[in-house]
Amino acid sequence: MKNIMTAGAALLMTTSIATAGGLDRSGQPIDVIFEDTGATGGYSELSYGSVDANLSGTFNGDESGDISPRYGQLGMALKQQLTEQFSLSMIYDQPFGAVVDYAEPGYALDGVNAEVETDGVTILGRYEINPNFSVHGGLRYVQAKGVYDIVAYESNYDTDGDFGYVLGGAYERDDIALRVALTYSSAIDLELDGDVGGNTLTANLPESVNLNFQTGIAADTLVFGSVRYVAWDGFRLVDSNDPTGEGNILAYDDDVITYNLGIGRRFTDNFSATIGVGYEKSTGETTGQLGPTDGFISYQVGGAYTMDNGIEISGGIRYIDIGDADTNPIAPAPFGQTYEDNDAIAIGLKVAYAY
């Protein structure tokens, strides 16, 4: 029943600023380490997600218009089974990010825009202690760059990166398609050089814990889900020139827990489908305008089809009802805003092949 999970995973990778707290986007997945390999011990996958959020707010009775341009999420992964018990995987994702663009003529913040982009590469080894227990761990490298353009201040930040680590373990029972996997990813500190008077941008990408699970509940039917904890409390995105006068470009004071739960069913040897829901509790705190959301509830459907040559195509669509939020200013006070009645559509697609 493993291909049932693939349809859900391809869609869940579209987790984004429209659907998760802080700057979280990919969810830092490690699912590839559990995939079956082919005759030569190899497996590869390529995934892509497109996120179209409708994010608009009001200030002093004026409407901002949609400030969230559509963006894509790319993911790639390779796995090689080196021995009967040990495998090595490489995972590329875009773990964190944000983009806002105020372009409504006459609006108080017209012309303000900001963007954060990241790329991550993880090298992960997995050792199967016995048929039930395994451990995994490795190194993660994350790099970031960005643009910050507000009233009378514009800075472009060069790319900077650093290393962290990943550790985890899993318990499995093949007879009931049970798997429970727990994975910890460490924090990573970054310092990006700007182009305004020797300024720098500092950030501490937070540590996180992912709990992923699945189990069979009937013939060809599977329940699967995840719980993701990210330590956003205390996160600060700080320009050394402090252009806002507030001390931080962006700050978060609450950790975030994101839940996903789904059911998958295999209808034929080649085709399976999933439905699922996602949830993140609203904190009620003010947010930054790089991520003007506060909690969400989402609904998704997905499907997977395996062709006779072994290539598997999976994907799905997710609708996200975004929680209302009040923001801290992205420009000098009092340019905070209220965001209400916003939503997003995320589409995910994955192609995989075991060889």
pLDDT tens across 13-47, in order? Answer: 544 444 567 789 999 999 999 999 999 999 999 99
Provide the 3-class DSSP secondary structure of residue 132: coil
**Domain 2-354, what architecture?**
Beta Barrel (2.40)
The pLDDT of residue 163 is above 50: yes
Compute the average pLDDT of residues 201-222. 94
Whole-number pLDDT of residue 288:
73
Whole-number pLDDT of residue 140:
98
Confidence of residue 332 (pLDDT cuts 50, 70, 90): low
Confidence of residue 333 (pLDDT cuts 50, 70, 90): low
On average, the pLDDT of the chain sits at 89
Whole-number pLDDT of residue 4:
58
The pLDDT of residue 3 is above 60: no
Residue 268 has which token pair?
Answer: 């034929």
Say how many Å lie between the first and final Cα of the chain, rounded.
19
Whole-number pLDDT of residue 344:
92
Q: Do the beta carbons of residue 31 and residue 59 sit within 8 Å?
A: no
Q: Where are the domains of the chain?
A: 2-354
Q: Which residues contact 274 (CB under 8 A, 6 or more apart)?
A: 4, 7, 8, 11, 224, 262, 263, 264, 265, 300, 301, 302, 303, 316
The pLDDT of residue 192 is above 90: yes
Whole-number pLDDT of residue 16:
45
Q: Which helix (H) or strand (E) holds 2?
A: helix 2-12
- How far is residue 194's CA from residue 318's CA, in Å, rounded to a whole number? 37
Confidence of residue 286 (pLDDT cuts 50, 70, 90): confident
Compute the average pLDDT of residues 245-262. 84
Whole-number pLDDT of residue 17:
43
Whole-number pLDDT of residue 18:
44
Whole-number pLDDT of residue 22:
74
Provide the 3-class DSSP secondary structure of residue 33: helix
The pLDDT of residue 187 is above 60: yes
If you compute the radius of gyration of the chain from its CA atoms, what whole number of angstroms results?
21
